[in-house]
Amino acid sequence: MVPTGAYGTWPSPIDARIAAAHGGRPEYVGVVGDEVWWTEPRPAEGGRRALVRRRPDGTEEQVLPAPWNVRSRVVEYGGQPWAGAVRGEDATPLVVFSHFPDQRLYVYEPDGDTAPVPLTPVSGVGGGLRWVDPVIHPDRDEVWCVLEEYTGPGPGDVRRVVAAVPLDGSAAEDRRAVRELTDDRHRFVTGPRLSPDGRRAVWLAWDHPRMPWDGTVVMTADVTADGTFTDARPIAGGEEEAVCQADWAPDGSLLFVSDACGWWELQRIRPGDTRPAGLCTGRAEEFGGPLWKIGLKWFQPLDDGTIAVIHGRGATGLGILDPETGQVVDAPGPWTEWASTLAGHGTRVVGVAASPRSGYEVVELDTCTGRTRVIGSAHDDSVDPAYYPEPQIRTFTGPDNREIHAHIYPPHNPDRIAPDDELPPYVVWAHGGPTAHVPLVLDLEIAYFTSRGIGVAEVNYGGSTGYGRSYRDRLREQWGVVDVEDCAAVAEALAAEGTADPARLAIRGGSAGGWTAAASLAATGVYACGTLLYPVLDLDGWAAETHDFESRYMESLIGPPEDVPGRYRERAPLNQVERITAPFLLLQGLDDVICRPEQSERFLAAMAGRGIPHAYIAFEGEGHGFRRADTVVRALEAELALYLQVFGITRPDVPPLELRK
């Protein structure tokens, strides 16, 4: 007989250290010769990103030992940080990568006996020189990529161009040896993609105040024999059309993903044509997503003319699209989310996928047989899967009868049942971005709470991606309103239907989700407490202090500041502290350049003396998003302690959180 235990008191084998060890996911898959390579996190090694290779015999090994950290800081969120190729008659593998501490490009022969060699110089101006989305040119001893160059001390003193870096190391101490392939007429660019004959290049560009999911242009140029760009011109996209990826098909057709029809859909311009044609339209599905990082990929042209595509509504799958018929054949398997990274080699397609029962792993599809298999970073159940939660896909009704999509994770533990007369506490999770979405996948941080008897509701509030442009546009000038209302509507619906205890509801979020959590504490009386992770709290200060990429983001989320200055003051949690009456936990990385610690400090100063219990934990060496295992452990344990104290749950094994007023 399963014993009875109050919600929140259940013993669980999923401790914070296990949850922290499974943080992050493999990213940026690629094929080098006959091998599949990717990056993956190392939380126990200071949060570095390792580059891993899978040899033809199936063995995995690191390409680079610690402390090499394969990660770019371009636009602070980074992007594709490496490129690989095989060179010479003996097909020697060669890799070019961005090293996080100094942001220099390095070249390395992993089967050789020499250390990585720097290709680019160090600059002491502002944020220095940074590189992302590299491509090793097949015919020239160069790597073509995006250069982000700081020209002064401020976050906005920056320019970005497509550049060519020599592989012989001649630019390692000489910035002049780097060839600029484009001018800096556009504020933001992605890396170039070369046509099959090498005579044309394509890339994406956009400018302030638009974000890349608002409007981008597809740029093309002719490539001369000496490797310069001529006749650079836009051929698709626009201020109200967001293109998230562009590449070439084997026949020289230009492929790109555009949301001109209300959903991100694949378009094609054949050689000799000037107008695009949709390849798979009218499905009310997304074939793309928000370009938060440079070089993300939702489609991969294959040698036989078909196209591997990531697509779906809410959840995503991997399919093979026949561009002549528009038919999509989906790959079999349990995965409900495919990350925006794909690689192809012959009849193979490689991606990164996860499911509600497994974390992200490297998956290969054989397009000839239709079979899928996990080939790398395989999910490993460190605890009995019986402790994992069983998610529910729900659609709720919010204000104005609008739909709100959410994933509900009820408390679950095979060793305990709750008393019949008790309703469970729930924590509403507001995702970051806010132009993002929460996938339906296994998250051991969620299991950390549900296995102890605390439910979790992840809300894809209005503004989230995955449901078309109109759903995404609900948040235009409504940030702090629609997101707050939608989260509250889900929480109140769970309470009204008897799923959650209305007196024991909490809200948590990081980054933009931290804004939603803080704004919710100020604007509603729904929540008993909240957890704010590296949040946006002060709109005026944030716009002036944050990085260049998001420095004008508020114009679409709140409105042009010159037109609606009062709105900036009214919605900022910093200016609503008198309305916050619930306890909260504030977690902040001291190296965060996106949501700087100065914001949190101003918020705490404004809260001082108001008698509201709260705790503040700052982490040295952490930026925007926690990557170190010890940080994640401390943050999770503190969050649990907050809920136990506020919800009145006694657990002798959990030290109390020191709350000040």
Contact 165, 178 (CB under 8 A): yes
Name 53's Cβ contacts closer than 8 Å, sequence gap at least 6: 32, 35, 36, 37, 60, 61, 62, 63, 110
Q: Rounded distance, CA 255 to CA 85, Å?
A: 23
CA-closest candidate to residue 378, choices 36, 142, 10, 15: 36
Mean pLDDT of 100-122: 95
Query: In 3-state terms, what secondary structure has residue 415?
Result: coil
Rounded Cα distance between 95 and 85, Å, is 7
CB 531 within 8 A of CB 495: no
The confidence score (pLDDT) of residue 227 equals: 96
For residues 491 and 46, the model is more confident at 491
Answer whether 398's CB lies under 8 Å from 489's CB.
Answer: yes
Contact by Cβ (8 Å): 131, 148: yes
**Cβ atoms of 268 and 280 closer than 8 Å:** no
DSSP 573: G
Structural domains of the chain sorted by starting position, each given as residue range(s) with its CATH number in brackets:
383-647 (3.40.50.1820)
**217: Cβ contacts below 8 Å, ≥ 6 apart:** 186, 204, 205, 206, 234, 236, 237, 238, 243
Strand order in the sheet with 307-311: 299-301, 307-311, 317-321, 328-330
| Omega cis (within 30) before 434 | yes
Confidence of residue 312 (pLDDT cuts 50, 70, 90): very high
Over 90: is that where the pLDDT of 112 sits? no
**What is the C-alpha separation between 545 and 159, in angstroms, rounded?**
18
Q: So what's the pLDDT on residue 198?
A: 95
- Of all residues in the chain, what percent carry a pLDDT higher than 90? 95
Question: 470: helix, coil or strand?
Answer: helix
DSSP secondary structure string, 498-536? Answer: TSS-TTSEEEEEETHHHHHHHHHHHH-S--SEEEEES--
Rg of the chain over all Cα atoms, to the nearest angstrom: 25
Residue corresponding to tokens 């001109």: 260
| Overall average pLDDT of the 48-58 stretch | 95
Over residues 81-105, mean pLDDT? 93
Instruction: Please give the DSSP secondary-structure letter assigned to residue 623.
Output: B
- Residues in CB range of 28: below 8 A, 6 or more apart: 38, 39, 80, 81, 82, 295, 341
What mean pLDDT is reported for the chain?
96
468 burial (CB, 10 Å; 0-12 / 13-18 / 19+) is middle
User: Could you give the 3-state DSSP secondary structure of residue 159?
Assistant: strand
| Cα 110 from Cα 91, distance rounded (Å) | 12
Q: What is the pLDDT of residue 117?
A: 97
Residue 542 pLDDT: 83
H helices present in 415-481, as ranges: 444-450, 469-472
Nearest-CA neighbor of 431 among 390, 398, 396, 475?
475
Cis peptide before 101 (omega within 30 of 0): no
Helices (H), 561-628: 565-571, 597-607
Angle subtended at Cα 512 by Cα 586 and Cα 284, rounded to the nearest 5 degrees: 145
Sign of the C-alpha dihedral, residues 353, 358, 361, 363?
Answer: negative
Contact call for residues 96 and 83 (beta carbons, < 8 A): yes
Please list, residue by residue across 559-593, b when 16 or more beta carbons sit within 10 angstroms of its beta carbon and e when fewer do.
beeeeeeebbeebbbbbbbeebebbbbbbbbeebe
Average pLDDT of 199-227?
A: 97
Judge whether residue 545 has pLDDT over 90: no
pTM over 0.85: yes
Q: What pLDDT is attached to residue 251? A: 96
Cα separation, 48 vs 70, in Å, equals 8
| Beta strand spans in 249-306 (E) | 254-258, 265-269, 277-278, 299-301
Helix (H, G, I), strand (E, B) or coil at 103: coil
From CA 158, how far away is CA 215, in angstroms rounded? Answer: 21
Q: What is the DSSP letter of 593?
A: S
Q: pLDDT of 238-265, one tens digit each? A: 999 999 999 999 999 999 999 999 999 9
pLDDT at position 23, please? 78
- Other C-beta atoms closer than 10 Å to the C-beta of 489 total 20
Q: What is the distance between the alpha carbons of residues 655 and 316, in angstroms, rounded to a whole number?
A: 40
pLDDT attached to residue 540: 86
Q: Is the pLDDT of residue 109 over 90?
A: yes
Evaluated on CA atoms 102, 106, 111, 115, the torsion sign reads: negative
Q: Which residues pair with 417 in a beta bridge?
A: 4
pLDDT digits (tens, 9 = 90+) for 129-188: 999 999 999 999 999 999 999 999 999 999 999 999 999 999 999 999 999 999 999 999
Query: CB-based contacts of 38: which residues, under 8 Å, 6+ apart?
Result: 26, 27, 28, 29, 30, 51, 52, 341, 352, 362, 376, 377
List phi, psi (to 5°) of 270: -75, 155
Strands (DSSP E) found in 173-249 = 179-180, 188-189, 193-194, 200-206, 217-223, 229-237, 243-248
Quick: pLDDT tens for 405-438. 999 999 999 999 999 999 999 999 999 999 999 9
| pLDDT band of 528, cuts 50, 70, 90 | very high
- Indicate the pLDDT class of residue 442, thresholds 50, 70 and 90: very high
Instruction: Give 320's strand partners.
Output: 308, 329
Per-residue pLDDT tens over the stretch 445-476: 999 999 999 999 999 999 999 999 999 999 99
Q: pLDDT of 258-306, one tens digit each?
A: 999 999 999 999 998 989 999 988 999 999 999 999 999 999 999 999 9
Which H or E element spans position 455?
Answer: strand 455-460
Structure tokens at 569: 């003051």
Structure tokens at 495: 């309470």
How does DSSP classify residue 606? Answer: H
| Residue 20 φ then ψ, to 5° | -65, -35
Residue the block writes with tokens 């009995």: 384
